[in-house]
Structure 1
């Protein structure tokens, strides 16, 4: 297994190897730097929490303290999610290179740019968490008196992350272009020259790619919601969230993978029903966030709304693509995919070509030619 994986990853073109190196370096370096950001930020939130005893008898200052502390507490979760996102992009990169999936490579490039955008936004989050508004007295002034560098302690690490993300984004854009050209031959080897079949294969690739990104964003939303809202507030919503979001979305994604691989329509129908249920839950939560932003969602409104919106859009797109894939069932794609797997196992990584719906190992053909050659 590991030998086959190494052969697929390191035995390809140098562009594939460069892409893997860029992804690995990004995941390793950014995760370490973001770990420092998380450690400094956690210490800052701990220091902010000590101000609560000072201002607890002043209603106005106590309200300001609650807002600042809630925002700082919520940011810790997003630092963790950013680290997880770097490990996720590495897994997606390895998977895309192994399967020579051009659609997934392009999606990964967009995901890296989104990570770069977040790395820039978190600088603003850090510097705007505690700002002296000129009002005397104010919670901001009390915090700054305790530690004047508190809002800016994480900035050097965050600037380093931005620089790394710029380098990674630009490098991966170039590598994506090169890999898109090279992996076109891989698609031809699997599917052949039939344009209709290649379009069906592209829909299949898009659907598989969307399911993988749904895993990250669906579970990412579930983690932050449980950590920031349900568990900390100890409400009765925990059972509803686990059933309607975590369990339903996980089962739905598994059914989607199973259905598209086996081309079983009943599984795709169940997947589409699950999409509708989860989408309804997301709409309900967006309404709940907008109506309760000043109490249980204090400090998390923007982040939760963002993840909910992304999950909602992903769900709509995934539902649409699943319908298009369902229309392509029983039209020969399953045969081509199973045949390509059989060819791969038989040729053990050798190149093959397809002629008149038959596959041949190029190495076998070359050896056969050599037997009949005249020295």
Structure 2
């Protein structure tokens, strides 16, 4: 596995690692207290799935951002650095809404009863008093980490500018093709995250194990991962037939997302679900990103056999980045091409 090499890379990845560890510890504590508070019959209400799923989203987001951060510093990808910063700011906003939501659940569940008039939770257990501080601490941790990674990303952007310029050898036509390539790779990585979150929410909360839709919905998770892997391979190796298959998959996912948005916004049974607003948020973001991904995939396909494949050769890239990082190398400090950084 690639390890950061510069101080700014260590700070960037270290901040996300610390965020993941702290958030994981807080969420484990919250979910353990949740399990102590609720009774087995709580599964009769949908909210019993909403809370654990939302907590899992936090953990998955932190872990996925950490993986993307390592990938970004490994490939000197300024666009991916920016995408990680924006994603962390978004999860900060999402986490800031959770304390009020969880507090409302803690207020309403004790008054709920099952079909036999039995309470769904332990009425002697003050759930919010025990988990409130941990829940409030989550957006604080996200806020501190967001500030750190934004400042680190700015410094890394300047570090990577010269390495990226050397990679494209100053060719403006190659720069345009390389930019489309980088945007495409960033988009499909973000697509997978938003699609995965939507599928988990929609499958477990709305479809709620109803077959065959549940199995077909959850099958999108491995299918999306395989599509992402195929897209990486095809765009790097410039395989047109493979990219045509990937483009068809992009179009199919767009059609699926549109159909689910119509269903959620309609008057049917699927439209009456808990956490509907959050599902629509992730579905709309995933749809917009997937449309952009489809357009970028077509552009990348037309760029095949125009000199980009040689630039993307991993060995030549390593030589360029190593050259740029040689001690005493001052070209990047005064180069007039420094401003040509991609992203």
Q: Give the alignment of 1:77-116 within 5 angstroms.
A: 77-116=53-92
Q: Is 1:20 aligned to 2:13, yes or no? A: yes
Instruction: Return the alpha-carbon distance in structure 2 between the equivalents of residues 293 and 330 of structure 1.
Output: 49
Q: For residue 351 of structure 1, what is the aligned residue in structure 2?
A: 323
- Computing the radius of gyration from Cα coordinates, the structure with the larger value is 1
Residues 147, 252 of structure 1: alpha-carbon distance in 2 compared, 3 angstrom cutoff: same
User: Partner of 1:58 in structure 2?
Assistant: none
Which residue number in structure 1 is paired with residue 244 of structure 2?
Answer: 269
Aligned residue runs from structure 1 range 309-320, under 5 A: 309-320=284-295
Q: CA deviation at 1:82?
A: 1.2
Query: Could you tell me whether the CA contact under 8 Å between 1:263 and 1:334 is conserved in 2?
Result: yes
Q: Tell me by how many angstroms 1:127 deviates.
A: 1.4
How many residues align structurally? 323
Equivalent in 163, 171, 174 of residue 140 of structure 2:
163
CA distance in 2, matches of 1:295, 1:147: 35
Q: Within the alignment, does 1:308 sit opposite 2:283 as a pair?
A: yes
Cα drift, residue 80 of structure 1: 1.1
Name structure 1 gaps, 5 residues minimum. 51-65, 354-360, 364-375
Partner-residue secondary structure (3-state), 1:113: helix
Q: Deviations over 1:275-334 (max 9, x none)?
A: 111111111122222336766853232232222222212211111211222232221111
Distance in 2 (CA, whole Å) between partners of 1:145 and 1:98 is 49
How many Å apart are 1:352 and its aligned residue? Answer: 5.4
Residue 74, structure 1, aligned to residue 50, structure 2: yes
2: CA distance, partners of 1:145 / 1:216: 35
TM-score (norm 2): 0.83
Alignment of 1:212-361 (within 5 A): 212-230=189-207, 232-242=208-218, 245-246=220-221, 248-291=223-266, 298-338=273-313, 341-343=314-316, 350-351=322-323
CA RMSD in angstroms, aligned pairs only: 3.0
Deviation at 1:362, TM superposition (A): 9.1
Identify unmatched segments of 5+ residues in structure 2.
114-118, 329-343
Q: Normalization by structure 1: what TM-score?
A: 0.77
1:129 counterpart residue number: 105
Using the TM superposition, give the Cα deviation of residue 181 of structure 1 relative to its aligned residue in structure 2, in angstroms. 1.0
Deviation of 1:247 after TM superposition, in Å, equals 5.0
CA contact (8 A) 1:128 1:151 kept: no
